Structure 1
Amino acid sequence: MSSESLIKMANQIAQFFAHEADTVQAARSVRLHLQSFWTPAMRNELSALQVEHSDNTLHPLVKAALSESGEH
């Protein structure tokens, strides 16, 4: 899967959960979704992209979810 597709999908997931008032819970929801529905390879690639794209390419909730899961 292309890097752009992974970033786009992860950001869409984050946008879905961004309405939650508690940002910590929103990040946990993103993390849980990624763990439940994404393969380990997809999560690992997304984690690698987080390092490559230190700009604002990834939604802050995605970054928080990856940091919280220890997959970086």
Structure 2
Amino acid sequence: MHIEKLIKMANDISEFFNSESDKELAAEGVKNHIKRSWDPRMRQQIIAYCQQDGKELTPLALKAVQKLV
């Protein structure tokens, strides 16, 4: 899958959880959603992107992906 699509998906998920005032809890929610719903190859791609750059991810999405490692 193209990394641009994964970035958009991760950012969209983070938008949903962003209303949570506890950002640690919100990041856990994003992480858990990605862990449950994404194919392992998709997770590996977004993790690799995060480790290389990650600048297009929202701060919440970035925090969540870092927790996947």
Q: Structure 1 stretches (4+) deviating beyond 3 angstroms?
A: none
Instruction: List per-residue Cα deviations over 1:22-68 (Å, max 9, x = no partner).
Output: 0000000000000110011101100111123243x001111111222
Matches within 5 A, 1:10-49: 10-49=10-49
- CA–CA distance in 1 between the matches of 2:9 and 2:54? 18
Structure 2's unaligned 5+ residue stretches are none
- CA–CA distance in 2 between the matches of 1:53 and 1:3? 12
% of aligned pairs identical? 38
1:59 maps to a residue whose letter is T
In the superposition, the TM-score normalised over structure 1's length comes to 0.87
Q: Taking structure 1 as reference, are residues 18 and 45 closer, same or farther at Cα in structure 2, changes over 3 Å only?
A: same
CA contact (8 A) 2:50 2:66 kept: no
Q: What residue is the counterpart of 1:53 in the other structure? A: 53
Q: Taking structure 1 as reference, are residues 54 and 32 closer, same or farther at Cα in structure 2, changes over 3 Å only?
A: closer
Q: Taking structure 1 as reference, are residues 34 and 54 closer, same or farther at Cα in structure 2, changes over 3 Å only?
A: closer
Structure 1's unaligned 5+ residue stretches are none
Q: How many residues get paired?
A: 69
